[in-house]
Structure 1
Amino acid sequence: MSSTQTKARENSSRVRDHLANERTYLAWMRTAIALMGFGVVIVRLRHFQAPRINHPGVGWKLGLIFSGVGLITVLLSTWHYFAIRHAIDEDVYEPGDRWVILFSIAVILLGSGVIYFVFTASLNPASLFVPE
């Protein structure tokens, strides 16, 4: 096999690796946008608890947490994308479990918060959509 064919084969693998890294990055971006969007929906609709005069409810806190985790996801996934890109270029890439575990814990905590608020919120149908 000539050196040109070998180089083309190696280059094809490297390109495939970079494209897979980019697809993963874009999937994280979609996840971040969904988290931030869900946070905005929670805050704007105030679906989980009817607002009160002296105590505005805690649904906005959950929405803020979702939006914050979405922003953190953007930052960490961008950093991770460039770290993986560098590792692919240097041919030293080793997959890690740290990010999977970190975001799994974050989603478990957020999901637990949603479940808690769903079961502790008042079920007054008039409080589902509160005009501002």
Structure 2
Amino acid sequence: MQLPFKSMQVDDEKPTQQNQSRAIDRSANERTFLAWMRAAIALMSFGVVIVRLRLVQMPVQYRQGMGWKLGLIFSLIGLATVLISTKHYFTVRHQIDEDTYEPSDWLIFVFSSALGLLGIGVIYFIFAAAVSPSSFVIPD
């Protein structure tokens, strides 16, 4: 009589281990999502900082600059990061629940490319501001 009881005990342990594993996977997914949210907030904040720094420079003559465009692009990529990471979070959560999770490389490639292009834009912005006559970067 004890044999069926022991086998039921083993069967009861299996779903518990699966539930613990699934809970760990869900927690990791949530941590990843929160990291993407922090990156999005940082991108949007950096966009605001770029626009605010443009306003600190006192131009000798009015000229249309690129600073506000670069700040806008940072903010838009930050907003896109929020939307894409939210969709990715729910997709991964669904895949974890169905035990069909396969990591995808496209999100990392797209995000890395966007940040690389923004980095090039920042470097261009810094050097363009450094050679302008109204710049505080290189004093007269």
Q: TM-score, normalised by structure 1?
A: 0.88
* C-alpha distance after superposition, 1:27-46 (max 9, x if no partner): 00000000000000000121
Question: Over the residues paired in the alignment, what is the CA RMSD in angstroms?
Answer: 2.2
| Distance (Å, rounded) in 1 between the aligned partners of 2:44 and 2:102 | 30
Q: Cα offset for 1:50?
A: 5.5
For residue 84 of structure 1, report the CA deviation from its aligned partner: 0.4
Q: How does 1:84-123 map to 2 (within 5 A)?
A: 84-122=92-130
SS at match of 1:125: coil
Higher RCO (CA < 8 A, seq sep 6+): 1
The 5 A counterparts of 1:1-132 are 2-46=10-54, 51=59, 54-122=62-130, 124-125=135-136
Unaligned runs of 5+ in 1: 128-132
CA shift for structure 1 position 56: 3.2
In 1: Cα distance, 2:114 partner to 2:126 partner: 18
Scaled by the length of structure 2, the TM-score of the pair is: 0.83
Q: Which residue of 2 aligns with 1:130?
A: none
- 4+ long deviations beyond 6 Å: none
Unmatched 5+ residue regions in structure 2? Answer: 1-8
Secondary structure of residue in 1 paired with 2:130: coil
Q: What percent of counterpart residues are identical?
A: 57
SS in 2 for 1:85: helix
- Aligned-partner Cα distance in 2 for 1:126–1:94: 48
Secondary structure of the equivalent of 1:121? helix
Q: Distance in 2 between matches of 1:50 and 1:106?
A: 30
